[in-house]
Structure 1
Amino acid sequence: MSKNCIVFSLLLPLLVACGRGTTGQADSPAPLMLTDSLQKVVSVETVHEAPLNNELLLNGRVSFNLEQVAHVYPIFGGNITEVSVEIGDHVKKGDVLAVIHSSEVADYAKQKKEAEQQLMLAGRNLEATQDMFRSGMASERDVLQAEQDAANARAEQKRIEEVYAIYNIEGNSTYGIKSPVSGFVIEKNVSRNMQIRSDQTEEMFTISGLDNVWIMADVYESDISKVREGAPVRITTLAYGDKEFAGTIDKVYNMLNDESKTMSVRVKLKNEDYMLKPGMFTNVYVECNAEGQVMARVHAHAIIFENGKQYVVYIGDDNRLHAREVTVFKQTETYCYLQSGLKEGDRIIDRNALLVYNALK
């Protein structure tokens, strides 16, 4: 059984109850009323006047959110012994992207061993100096100097340990390149056994999150006055023909591209299930006001079409229900703008209007 049939089965007793009365020996028709019971299965909309909205169609494309892009560069030069990811792979923050064998890391390994030995010697020297001080063979100044040497040795060892932690240095003179953020690998410029330098300008990897994406759209010079920050937009793609993505223009780039002579605008979108892929082409429909035109506006599903005419279920001041003809000037995906039939403050049935309309006939 369809959803409309189920709703109609619930509405029918209510409509019959409020549409019939008993006067004497036979039932006589009575007007349908908006009762408390009926209001539980329909919704009431108050008509408001609103500026007539036109839609401007722009060509757009899905782009990475540059606020979520991280470029990964080498810290030390060396030979790449392992590459763990490919373009398109999803990585988490801290995942190892590549492993590098480096002579520079070997130097840090040497420094670490030296720091450990110096700390051990400084500790022994401090103990010996303290024993000599207690037996009167060393001065307080000698003890202070020994304590300072031990503190310096501990500081040097801590510095080396922090270098190991920051640069992900491992044993065998290797260190791991780890992802600084969670996201997708969108660029990879290295391969196994490749030699790299610490001063190279080209990044090894580029990581970007796709939880949010940017929609960049081009505005021709003749349409610049029609767009503004905060304007609602709806977006369609070739990949998802029946699905629309809603958003608003959050940035207008107030300059023209020298080649295309267009101005760019940006829409930030939450990218659920990673449906939007960077590089996709989009249609961006921007809502813009038509100057000076104000009309009564209702939700599109409140309009009933029959025999080439449009109707709504109107609620009178006494809560009586009437079928009222209206003239639709323009219809969008969400709203209908009415040229006649309703005015500001009128009340109509919104949800399940068609079922109530059929009961009125």
Structure 2
Amino acid sequence: MSNISLFYKFTGIIILLFTLKACGDADQSETAIPTVTTGIQDDGCLPEAMIGRLVIEEAMTGPLKRSLNLPGNIEVNKDRVYRVMPTAGGIITDVHVRTGDRVNRGQVLATVQSPDIAAFKRDIRAAKAEKNMAEQNLNLARSMFESGVYSRRDLLKAESDLEKIISEIDRLREEQKVLGIEEGQTAYTIRAPQSGFIVERNINPGTAMNPDNGHAFKISDLRDVWVIANVSETDIGNIRIGDTVSIQTLAFQDKTFEGIIVRMSNTIDPNRRTMEAIVELPNPDFFLKPGMFANIDLNASENEIYTSIPSRALIFDNNEYFVVVYEDPCNVEIRKVEIKRRNGERTYLTSGVEAGESVISNRHILVYNQLIANQ
């Protein structure tokens, strides 16, 4: 076969292929592209294609619930904090504990070199000298009374003088015990008034202290702690004293702690716009440390029964709330609702929707706008 014949055959095949492709394109261009109607039909019904894309949920009745998730932090129970004060002025010579240390009642926390100790000891020595003199005077008074020189009144006065001095010495010895002054020393010790943990230390060796300067230490037993929950201004109405809450921390994410709200602040933080709610939490194993961050969950039910709908079904328009109530494709209407409380995913209503009715909770704004347009 000649090259010319092969050329004509090859050219014919190419022309045939282009012809077939052109016919195929023509057929495709004549095929109708299906369309989906998303608007309300002329008869007022929702098209089937649109209904398939809607989420329709039923309104339910149940107890009014309060659910909150609040940030917070662990603090010492301020009702169980002991402030350790210096009992006399002086210079701190030794501090035997650090913040976080566990201490026992009576344990020495610090030593104070005090000029007041010298004056105190002078008072004791003077009182003892007066006691010796009073004892001698009493012995003399008894002798003179027996010989008839002193009257009974003189004898009673000598006895009274001795009793007063003995009482003063007893007072000084009790003060010596309170101050922690030992015989022969010119310093006194600060001791723990209660077992617990040192949660604050305000002194170091060389610090000049006196009772007017404030406390040297704070001690808390940490067997129970406070969780300070920060309640936003909009959530204050959803929290009550006595509510039980669940608490989790970053340090112990696998543990959940249960506590009770024992008090609430009566003031608002002007910067954060939050109010403090205090949860009292048992801490027998000392897992919880002051300063930890906490996550507080509140879930409480009240005795009142209300109809509730999914919160996402609400439509806010012109400062009012509406929902789209669905009965069937041809019975869809807009209703205004009155809200009792919004609680996360559920909203409780006082009017507008009855239990058992259904509302559209997805693409409901599209339906709402079309119903408004058709009015």
Aligned to 1:72: 84
Maintained 8 Å contact 1:170/1:176: no
Distance 1:232 1:169, change over 3 A: same
Q: Which whole-Å CA distance do the structure 1 matches of 2:158 and 2:293 have between them?
A: 71
Note the C-alpha offset of 1:165: 2.1
Aligned to 1:154: 166
Residue 250 (1) aligns with residue 262 (2): yes
> Which residue identity is paired with 1:55?
S
Q: Which whole-Å CA distance do the structure 1 matches of 2:259 and 2:307 have between them?
A: 24
Q: Which whole-Å CA distance do the structure 1 matches of 2:117 and 2:300 have between them?
A: 60
Distance 1:233 1:114, change over 3 A: same
Q: Deviations over 1:125-184 (max 9, x none)?
A: 211221222123333232122112211211221121121122222231221111222211
Residue 226 (1) aligns with residue 226 (2): no
Q: Which moved more, 1:267-276 or 1:253-262?
A: 253-262
What secondary structure, in the 3-state scheme, does the structure 2 residue paired with 1:223 have?
A: helix
Residue 112 (1) aligns with residue 124 (2): yes
Q: Which whole-Å CA distance do the structure 1 matches of 2:180 and 2:211 have between them?
A: 18
Aligned to 1:140: 152
Aligned to 2:100: 88
Q: Which whole-Å CA distance do the structure 1 matches of 2:134 and 2:214 have between them?
A: 44
Aligned to 1:29: none
Note the C-alpha offset of 1:203: 2.4
Q: Deviations over 1:5-54 (max 9, x none)?
A: xxxxxxxxxxxxxxxxxxxxxxxxxxxxxxxxxxxxxxxxxxxx972645
Maintained 8 Å contact 2:264/2:276: yes
Q: Which whole-Å CA distance do the structure 2 matches of 1:238 and 1:288 have between them?
A: 24
Determine which of 48, 54, 59 is the counterpart of 2:71. 59
Aligned to 2:198: 185
Maintained 8 Å contact 2:66/2:238: no
Q: Which whole-Å CA distance do the structure 2 matches of 1:149 and 1:257 have between them?
A: 62
Maintained 8 Å contact 1:230/1:250: yes
Q: Deviations over 1:172-207 (max 9, x none)?
A: 122111122221111112222x14242542421111
| Number of residue pairs aligned between Structure 1 and Structure 2 | 249
> Which residue identity is paired with 1:126?
L
Q: Which whole-Å CA distance do the structure 2 matches of 1:288 and 1:138 have between them?
A: 85
TM-score, normalised relative to structure 1: 0.64
Q: Which whole-Å CA distance do the structure 2 matches of 1:254 and 1:122 have between them?
A: 62
After TM superposition, the structure 1 = structure 2 runs for residues 240-319 of structure 1, keeping only pairs within 5 Å, are 240-289=252-301, 292-293=305-306
> Which residue identity is paired with 1:67?
D
> Which residue identity is paired with 2:297?
Y
Aligned to 2:339: none
What secondary structure, in the 3-state scheme, does the structure 2 residue paired with 1:228 have?
A: coil
Aligned to 1:43: none
Maintained 8 Å contact 1:226/1:288: no
Aligned to 1:210: 222
Q: Deviations over 1:44-76 (max 9, x none)?
A: xxxxx9726453111111111000112222222
What secondary structure, in the 3-state scheme, does the structure 2 residue paired with 1:191 have?
A: coil
Q: Which whole-Å CA distance do the structure 2 matches of 1:241 and 1:197 have between them?
A: 43
What secondary structure, in the 3-state scheme, does the structure 2 residue paired with 1:272 have?
A: coil
Maintained 8 Å contact 2:135/2:162: yes
Distance 1:139 1:58, change over 3 A: same
Q: Radius of gyration: which is bigger?
A: 2
What secondary structure, in the 3-state scheme, does the structure 1 residue paired with 2:180 have?
A: coil
Maintained 8 Å contact 2:196/2:221: yes
Aligned to 1:174: 187
Determine which of 95, 98, 112 is the counterpart of 2:110. 98
Maintained 8 Å contact 1:130/1:143: yes
Distance 1:264 1:98, change over 3 A: same
Distance 1:148 1:178, change over 3 A: same
Q: Which whole-Å CA distance do the structure 2 matches of 1:283 and 1:197 have between them?
A: 40
What secondary structure, in the 3-state scheme, does the structure 1 residue paired with 2:266 have?
A: strand
Aligned to 1:21: none
Q: Which whole-Å CA distance do the structure 1 matches of 2:176 and 2:232 have between them?
A: 54
RMSD, aligned CA: 2.5
Q: Which whole-Å CA distance do the structure 1 matches of 2:306 and 2:148 have between them?
A: 102
What secondary structure, in the 3-state scheme, does the structure 2 residue paired with 1:153 have?
A: helix
Distance 1:103 1:61, change over 3 A: same
Aligned to 2:142: 130
> Which residue identity is paired with 1:229?
I
TM-score, normalised relative to structure 2: 0.61
Structure 2's unaligned 5+ residue stretches are 1-60, 309-344, 346-354, 357-375
After TM superposition, the structure 1 = structure 2 runs for residues 27-66 of structure 1, keeping only pairs within 5 Å, are 51=63, 53=65, 55-66=67-78
> Which residue identity is paired with 1:179?
A
